[in-house]
Amino acid sequence: MSDWYNVTLTEGVSEVLKCCPIGQAIGPDKTCVPYESDPSVICSPPKCRFIVKMTDYCKYGRFIFEVGETSVVTPEGLEVVGVGRSYTTTQYCLDDFFNMTTRPDGVYPIVCHGTDHDDDVEVIGDAVTENIVYGVYPFLLVFSALLVLVTLFLYVAVIAPHSRSTVPQKGINIAYMFTLFVALTFVACTALMDPKFPWTYPVLCLIDGFAVQFFF
């Protein structure tokens, strides 16, 4: 029987939403693949059974809980202990993970995005508002980065040679504009990323986040 890592079930839970169809589980590439497991004993205790939630397994992206995150399955949904987050029964599923390089084999919760945008970002309004958030904002970031780059070029080529500032002062000004340009570039790349990028390329996503923090 598979281990349930940091996942507990309360009284009254009679069914658990399964991410993959019966006879499949989450493989190393985070997709549903054939896997020999008995759904009648995988959920215990208390006694419950898996039901198939979807066949396209988080169509718009997903968030997989870390090994150390503790969650509780209740009849109303899934609660994350200590952080105040909760998800309804239509927002999450659980399944077996096997042959993973980043975690032991076992059952983990998965939160599925409801749309083709990150479910951590709530857009209130009509299609025009959504277009501004997801279309105009990345463009403005790229435009801002280009303006900073032009400013840096003009300062180095035109202003600095005729400035009375000391060499250290000029160096500080150049360094400030350069780091701002790099930071805006990374933020723009983040805004233009596919929603599945963090799960497809976790190392690159980590580098991108560190770069944004460092250069800002």
In a domain, 117, yes or no: no
pLDDT score, position 127:
47
**Start-end of H helices in the chain:** 127-131, 137-154, 160-162, 167-192, 197-200, 202-215
Query: What integer pLDDT is reported at residue 40 of this predicted model?
Result: 42
Other Cβ atoms within 10 Å of 133 Cβ, number: 17
174's tokens: 């150049």
Name which residue leads in pLDDT, 67 or 215: 215
Helices (H), 85-166: 127-131, 137-154, 160-162
- For helices 202-215 and 167-192, what crossing angle results, to 10°? 150
The DSSP secondary-structure symbol of 134 reads I
Residues 6+ apart with CB under 8 A from 137: 191
Supply φ then ψ for residue 130, to 5 degrees: -65, -40
Q: State pTM to two decimals.
A: 0.48
Is 192 part of a structural domain of the chain? yes
In the 8-state DSSP scheme, what is residue 4? B
- One-letter amino acid identity for 186? F
Residues 108 and 12 in one domain: yes
Q: How many CB atoms lie within 10 A of CB 198?
A: 20
CA distance linking residue 53 with residue 98, whole number of Å? 20
- Are 101 and 133 in a shared domain? no
List for the chain the helix, strand, coil content (%; round to 5): 35, 20, 40
Q: In this predicted model, what pLDDT tens digit does every residue of 156-196 receive, in sequence order?
A: 999 988 888 899 999 999 999 999 999 999 988 887 876 66
Could you tell me if 171 and 210 lie in one domain? yes
Task: Name the nearest CA neighbour of 205 among 100, 61, 85, 7.
Answer: 61
For 28, the domain range is: 7-112
Last residue of a domain, one of 78, 112, 146: 112
Task: Take residue 29 and report the two structure tokens written for it.
Answer: 């590439």
Q: Is residue 106 part of a domain?
A: yes
What total number of domains does the chain contain? 2
Domain-ending residue, one of 112, 146, 168: 112
Q: Which of 35-39, 83-87, 92-96, 210-214 has the lowest mean pLDDT?
A: 35-39
Whichever domain contains 40, its CATH number is 2.170.180.11
In this predicted structure, the answer to whether residue 107 has a pLDDT above a threshold of 70 is yes
Confirm if 40 and 131 have CB atoms less than 8 A apart: no
DSSP 166: -
Distance between CA atoms of residues 139 and 134, nearest Å: 9
Q: What is the pLDDT of residues 74-87, one digit of tens each?
A: 888 888 887 777 88
